Amino acid sequence: MVTLTDIATEKVRGFLAQQEAEGEVGLRVGVRGGGCSGFQYALALDEKKEDDHVFDHDGIRLLVDPASLQYVDGSQVDFTESLMGSGFEVNNPNVVAACGCGSSFRVADEEPSCGSAV
């Protein structure tokens, strides 16, 4: 399961309203290979695909493809604002290592892509 914090829920709701999204549209939470630690998060407004897992959080659909679910299950998406900028952040209990800049991560049972050890 994937959830949203209250502020992330409001931000996604606002983005959906701006896009005038209709149908089975929601926030896609996925992962893709890349970065120095192995995986990067991919967040985007998207339409539901046939094999997606759909989680409802306060009326917001969270869409997760089967391959990504094993990496993000149990995660919570937050929205943070600071002097350095603002954006979505994934709090993922499956992460065992992350790169210094925080844009990529590694989970247990995955080899580091840059040769670093935990």
Q: What is the CATH number of the domain that holds 71?
A: 2.60.300.12
Task: Classify residue 114: in a domain, yes or no.
Answer: no
- Enter the pTM of the model: 0.79
Task: Classify residue 113: in a domain, yes or no.
Answer: no
Calculate ∠ Cα 31-112-27, nearest 5°.
10
Total domain count, the chain: 1
Task: Classify residue 63: in a domain, yes or no.
Answer: yes
Task: Classify residue 56: in a domain, yes or no.
Answer: yes
Query: Which one, of 9, 40, 6, lies nearest residue 26 by Cα?
Result: 9
Q: Is the pLDDT of residue 5 over 80?
A: yes
Q: What is the pLDDT of residue 53?
A: 97
Task: Classify residue 115: in a domain, yes or no.
Answer: no
Query: What band does 109 get if pLDDT is binned at 50, 70 and 90?
Result: low
Please give the average per-residue pLDDT across 12-39, as a whole number. 83
Burial of residue 89 (CB within 10 Å: 0-12, 13-18, 19+) is middle
- Give me the domain span that covers residue 103: 3-107
Query: What band does 60 get if pLDDT is binned at 50, 70 and 90?
Result: very high
